[in-house]
Amino acid sequence: MATSSDEGFDGSGFEPAAERGDAARPAAAERGDVEPEFDELHVFWITGESCDGCTIAAAGATDPGLEDVLTGAVPQLPKINLHHPVLATEWGENYVDEFRAAMRGERDPYAIVVEGSVPNEKLISGDGEDGYWIAMGEDENGDPIRCVDWLDRLAPGAAATIAIGTCATWGGIPAAEGNPTDAMGTMDYLGRDYRSVLGLPVINVPGCSPVGDNFVETVAHVLLYAQDLAPLPELDELGRPKWLFGETVHRNCNRGSYYEEGDFAEEYGSEKCLVKEPGCWGPVVKCNMPSRRAVDGVGGCMNVGGKCIGCTMPGFPDKFTPYFKEPPGSTISSAGTKILGALMRPLRRKSMSNLDRETRWDEESSGIGIEERLYEWYHRRGANYDTGRQDFQRGEAD
Ligand code: SF4
Ligand code: SF4
């Protein structure tokens, strides 16, 4: 079986599908046959090398929930017909037939979601008869239709192509050192210049597993954009939604104040900053887990005692291993905060104990010491201190 991917994909990973000219359907820009606004949309879920964890994450989304999007509970979204290998009610040929119909242009408009990494089928010689890594269904000759075949055939005509999870975005765990399939992300396979019918690159929602809300919210945003009801989703240079992946984990971590004071955990179970023990990568990792949390505002890595291992990043997992070791770059910065923190912590404690008293108590207390007097003198110089009230309490007011 000669397939488009065999002819076009050279293994380098950055050749756009349109330039390869090998798609079974014409490139989206040439077709121009999909209206930007529509009442109904098919979504085809293509699985590569995956553990189905991203499906579980998406199913756990609550803000908005997957079922809200599918049942039309979110106003203005088109009706969604989801073709998902786990959630579908059809099976066997009936299930694959819908994908075939999309290939023939009979299910426009449609979007595709990719879960799992894309194997390099070129490593296996021949047209599939010698074996393949991932496939779903068979063609008219009884040959397996591989994951890359589905991508070649459906991506050019898709209104949007969304990669869910780190395997589909960057290759993830199946692409780790030593993997036999030369696995890669969807953007590497389709090319960075790939554009969907709506003019969008591959939209990447990474995470292992991703925050379900991040994914469903991104889908909803794209659909609203397609309806002309929302602006173009802001994506970074790697196709990540900027509003979700623009900040580091560290920025929103609830242990950040410990880091600032150089107060680091020394054992498991500590509520302090985890940068040294067990070794957190949060300061350099783009992810919104600490603020969005895992499911319905609950859980999520350091919120429940875990550290950041960088699972949303293109370098994951190889660049973040061994996991339970202090990140090499953190030695200098954490030493700096440790020195500063040693000075800052006692001063803050002093401020805290002073601010933990009513001003009336200060006046009434005969036992106020020299340290407290000094602090009061210092504080009175600040704009926030109500000197009039203090004078009044002392009987010095007019
Ligand atoms: S636990 Fe990690 S993300 Fe949180 S403050 Fe410490 S280094 Fe930053
Ligand atoms: S905080 Fe780190 S380990 Fe947790 S989901 Fe985000 S990137 Fe992954």
Distance 200 CA to ligand 2 centre (A): 26
Q: Where are the domains of the chain?
A: 4-243, 247-356, 358-398
Is the CB of residue 289 below 6 angstroms from any atom belonging to ligand 2? yes
Using the atom order of ligand 2, give the atom closest to the CA of residue 312. Answer: 7
Class of domain 247-356: few secondary structures
Using the atom order of ligand 1, give the atom closest to the CA of residue 275. Answer: 7
Using the atom order of ligand 2, give the atom closest to the CA of residue 313. Answer: 7
> Each residue of 162-200: pLDDT tens digit?
999 999 999 999 999 999 999 999 999 999 999 999 999
**pLDDT category, 125, cuts 50, 70, 90?**
low
**Cα–Cα distance between 191 and 16 in angstroms, integer?**
4
Distance 249 CA to ligand 1 centre (A): 7
> Each residue of 42-67: pLDDT tens digit?
999 999 999 999 999 999 999 999 99
Is the CB of residue 256 below 6 angstroms from any atom belonging to ligand 1? yes
Residue nearest to atom 6 of ligand 1 (CA): 273
Is the CB of residue 289 below 6 angstroms from any atom belonging to ligand 1? no
Q: In sequence order, what are the residues at sequence separation of 6 or more whose Cβ sits closer than 8 angstroms to the Cβ of residue 396?
A: none
Q: How many residues does the chain have?
A: 398
For residue 385, what pLDDT is reported? Answer: 57
Neighbouring-strand partners of residue 46: 114
Q: Are 113 and 80 in contact (CB under 8 A)?
A: no
Mutate which of 248, 273, 284, 312 to test ligand 1's pocket (most atoms within 8 Å of Cβ)?
Answer: 273
**Cα–Cα distance between 134 and 114 in angstroms, integer?**
13
Order of strands, edge to edge, in the sheet holding 40-47? 79-83, 40-47, 110-115, 161-164, 203-205
> Each residue of 187-196: pLDDT tens digit?
999 999 999 9
- Whether pLDDT at 238 is above 50: yes
Is the model more confident about 97 or about 74?
A: 97
Q: What is the fold, at CATH topology level, of the domain defined by 4-243?
A: Rossmann fold (3.40.50)
For residue 30, what pLDDT is reported? Answer: 46
Is the model more confident about 228 or about 27?
A: 228
For residue 60, what pLDDT is reported? Answer: 96
- Whether pLDDT at 390 is above 60: no
Using the atom order of ligand 2, give the atom closest to the CA of residue 309. Answer: 3
> Each residue of 241-254: pLDDT tens digit?
999 999 999 999 99
- Residue ranges of the alpha helices (H) in 327-383? 330-355, 359-364, 370-380
> Each residue of 358-369: pLDDT tens digit?
878 777 766 667
Q: Which amino acid is at 251?
A: R
**Cα–Cα distance between 117 and 181 in angstroms, integer?**
10
Neighbouring-strand partners of residue 80: 41
Is the CB of residue 207 below 6 angstroms from any atom belonging to ligand 2? yes
> Each residue of 248-273: pLDDT tens digit?
999 999 999 999 999 999 988 999 99
Chain mean pLDDT for the chain? 85
**Cα–Cα distance between 279 and 273 in angstroms, integer?**
9
Beta strand pairing call for 135-138 and 144-146: antiparallel
